[in-house]
Amino acid sequence: SYNAQIKKILDIMENFGSELSLVDGALSRKGSAVGDVTEATILATGAALSLDMGKVIEETANTVSLLTLPSLENNELKDKINEIFQEARVGIIYNDGEIKTLEGMGPLESNDEIKNYLNDRIQVIAVRGAVTKKFIEILIKNRGNFKNIKLIAKDGTKVFIDFLTQKKLEVSGVELRVMNTINLLFVTCNPRSPLGYEFPKDKFKKFLEEKIKYKVIDVVGERNEIYR
């Protein structure tokens, strides 16, 4: 896999004496942010994403929210989920300890199949691959079939939902957690687009910080801050 290849390269660099290795996210966007690949992450955003500054801020806030999803703290459950992920894409853990795996199913198949297993005995649904909006919408639509459950993804880069869907999931009694946390240090923003337009840089940075609650550095006007 891509992450395994990057990890091998980082190990080689470390063996050669590298004290700090930087992985450019352009290689796989969010993929290199995973905790078992890199120790920390810096998220870059800016005017290149959209002509609409409000849309850039909203999408950045949603990405930050997903990347920083809290981890599952129950080590016993983690061990069970790791075993499930060795053989299946989706696993269900019931309150009495029973485990049901949806073996050999791809994303589309498990989307439709999962609703057949929803009941008030479910404790955890664990998904090894992508957690899609379609998958989550099925949980929301069938929320009357279960009580409070935990939906576990491998990490925040595997969850593909918008902010509104995330909120709907919360009120449906589904607690979204991850196996591996991502250490987000700060966010950089670029008010200038390669297409030639530019956001008001002071407002862009201010609104971003207010929305995401993380330190934001303007790469055009505050480059020195990155190296401190």
Residue 155, both tokens = 């990490």
- pLDDT, tens only, 195-205: 999 999 999 99
- pLDDT, tens only, 101-122: 886 555 445 566 788 889 999 9
Backbone angles phi, psi at 113, to 5 degrees: -75, -30
Predicted confidence at residue 207, as pLDDT, reads 96
Which domains does the chain possess?
2-68+182-226 (no CATH), 75-178 (3.40.140.80)
DSSP state of 146: -
Question: What contacts 130, CB < 8 A, 6 or more positions away?
Answer: 107, 158, 159, 160
String of DSSP letters for 16-81:
TT-S-----GGGTTTGGGSTTT-S-EEEEEEGGG-S-HHHHHHHHHHHHHHHTPPBP--HHHHHHH
Predicted TM-score (pTM) of this structure: 0.81
Question: Residues 95, 107, 75, CA angle at the centre, nearest 5°?
Answer: 35
